[in-house]
Amino acid sequence: MYVVTRDELPLSEIAHEFIGEDHGGLGLSFLLVEAPPGRGPARHQHAYAEIVIVQEGEALFVAGGEERMVRSGDIVVIPAETPHEFVNTGEEPLRQIDIHLNPRFVTEWLERHEHAQGHGG
User: Burial code of 55-78, b = ≥16 C-beta within 10 A, e = fewer?
Assistant: eebbbebebeeeeeebeeebebeb
Model confidence over 30-68: pLDDT tens digits? 999 999 999 999 999 999 999 999 999 999 999 999 999
**Residue 115's pLDDT band (cuts 50, 70, 90):** very low
The domains found in the chain, sorted by start residue, are 6-109 (2.60.120.10)
